[in-house]
């Protein structure tokens, strides 16, 4: 799994002083969780279920580029992240989703991007 970010905007006062990042990791985590669907694990069998319709996910996992636009607290677009993630498609409803084993990686990549050089 990989992620990319171009530039993280920062608040500036009228005198040009740096007021910190427009986007915080906590605010970004909530938006990533709402934007990228994650499959559910099965309880008694191996495999996963669709997070939307509950069908068994039988299609193979493939590499998918998934852009996620994050907004600041004021609702304006702050930055667009580009995730390169494993994903599978539900055979019943057609929804793309990330396997459960990769769900924690989504947050880890976001945290790394926001702490990268040039970030906050």
CB 72 within 8 A of CB 23: yes
Confidence of residue 19 (pLDDT cuts 50, 70, 90): low
How many independent structural domains does the chain possess?
1
CB 79 within 8 A of CB 55: no
Say if 119 falls within a structural domain: no
Say if 120 falls within a structural domain: no
Say if 84 falls within a structural domain: yes
* Tokens 């970004």 found at: 28
Higher pLDDT, 19 or 118: 19
Q: What local confidence, expressed as pLDDT, does residue 92 receive?
A: 96
Say if 60 falls within a structural domain: yes
Q: What local confidence, expressed as pLDDT, does residue 120 receive?
A: 46
| Cβ contacts of 77 within 8 Å, gap of 6 or more | 69, 70, 71
pTM for this predicted structure: 0.69
Burial call 73-97: b when 16+ CB within 10 Å, e when fewer: eeeeebbebebebebbbbeeeebeb
Q: Give the separation between CA 49 and CA 100, rounded to whole angstroms.
A: 10
* Tokens 């498609």 found at: 89
Give tens-digit pLDDT for 41-86: 988 777 899 999 999 999 999 999 988 888 877 777 777 888 899 9
Give tens-digit pLDDT for 5-16: 666 666 666 777
Say if 102 falls within a structural domain: yes
Higher pLDDT, 117 or 61: 61
CB 90 within 8 A of CB 50: yes
Task: Supply the range of the domain harboring residue 36.
Answer: 2-11+20-114
């Amino acid at each position: 799994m990989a992620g990319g970010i171009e530039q993280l905007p920062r608040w500036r006062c009228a005198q040009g002083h740096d007021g910190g990042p427009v986007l915080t990791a906590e605010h970004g985590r909530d938006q990533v969780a709402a934007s990228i669907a994650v499959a559910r694990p099965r309880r008694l069998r191996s495999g996963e279920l669709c997070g939307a319709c509950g069908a068994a996910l039988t299609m193979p996992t493939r590499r998918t580029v998934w852009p996620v636009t994050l907004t600041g607290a004021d609702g304006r677009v702050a930055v667009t992240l580009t995730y390169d993630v494993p994903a599978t498609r539900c055979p019943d409803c057609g929804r793309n989703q990330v396997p459960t084993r990769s769900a924690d990686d989504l947050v880890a990549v976001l945290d790394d991007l926001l702490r990268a050089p040039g970030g906050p």
